[in-house]
C-alpha cells in the first residue's frame, strides 16, 4: 500500500475506527483490537471508542499471529469470538450482531458470513475451536477451521456488495470513489 491501510479514510472515518465502531455497536461483550504495525498511531486513532487493545509482537510473521494473540487474550473467559478484519469497510454492526444472533439460536461451532458463493469474515468461532485457531499457521486465517467444520457450521448471507476489502491502492481508490 505504501502507507498504513488501517488509517485510510472511507466516508470521513479511518478503516480501523470504522470497524471498531461497528463491533462496539453490535452488542458484543468485549471488543478487542490486536495491534501490530504502527501500534501508537492505531492506538491514538481508537481514542474514545469502547475497546481494549493487545499488542502482537509477531505481527510481521503473518495474519495468523494476530489471530493467535487475540484468541489467547480472551480464551479464559470467552464462550466464542467473532473475528472481524479492519480492511473490510462495509462490515456493519448489524452484520456482526447477525452472526451472534445465529450462534445464540443454534450454538453452531462456527457461524460464518457468506457473500453470494464466497465465505469471508466476519466469522464467529465457539470456544471449542480455540485450540484449532491457535494451531493455524502464521500466514493463514481461520477459513481452514470453517472448512473442517462445514457440516456443523451455520452461514449468514450478506449482499455481495458488502464484500470489499482493501489490499491495494486500486482497491482503496475503487471503494473511496463509490
- d(CA 55, CA 85) in angstroms, rounded, equals 16
Buried b (16+ CB within 10 A) or exposed e, 60-98: eebbbbbbbbbbebbeeebebbbbbbbbbbbbbeebbbb
- 5-173 classified as CATH 3.90.550.10: yes
Instruction: Report pLDDT digits (tens) over 130-159.
Output: 999 999 886 677 888 999 999 999 999 999
For the chain, give every domain's residue range.
5-173
Q: Is the model's pLDDT at 91 over the cut of 70?
A: yes
Q: Is the model's pLDDT at 2 over the cut of 80?
A: no
pLDDT band, residue 1 (cuts 50/70/90) = low
Amino acid at each position: 500500500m505504501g502507507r498504513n491501510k488501517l488509517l485510510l479514510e472511507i466516508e470521513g472515518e479511518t478503516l480501523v475506527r470504522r470497524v471498531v465502531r461497528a463491533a462496539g455497536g453490535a452488542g458484543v461483550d468485549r471488543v478487542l483490537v490486536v495491534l501490530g504495525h504502527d501500534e501508537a498511531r492505531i492506538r491514538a486513532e481508537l481514542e474514545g471508542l469502547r475497546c481494549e487493545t493487545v499488542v502482537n509482537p509477531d505481527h510481521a510473521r503473518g495474519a495468523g499471529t494476530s489471530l493467535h494473540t487475540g484468541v489467547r487474550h480472551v480464551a479464559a473467559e470467552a464462550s466464542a469470538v467473532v473475528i472481524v478484519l479492519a480492511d473490510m469497510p462495509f462490515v456493519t454492526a448489524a452484520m456482526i450482531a447477525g452472526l451472534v444472533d445465529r450462534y445464540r439460536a443454534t450454538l453452531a461451532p462456527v457461524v460464518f458470513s457468506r457473500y453470494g458463493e464466497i465465505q469471508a469474515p466476519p466469522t464467529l468461532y465457539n470456544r471449542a475451536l480455540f485450540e484449532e485457531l491457535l494451531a493455524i499457521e502464521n500466514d493463514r486465517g481461520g477459513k481452514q477451521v470453517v472448512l473442517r467444520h462445514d457440516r456443523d457450521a451455520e452461514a449468514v448471507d450478506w449482499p455481495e456488495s458488502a464484500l470489499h476489502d482493501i489490499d491495494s491502492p486500486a482497491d482503496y481508490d475503487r471503494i473511496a470513489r463509490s
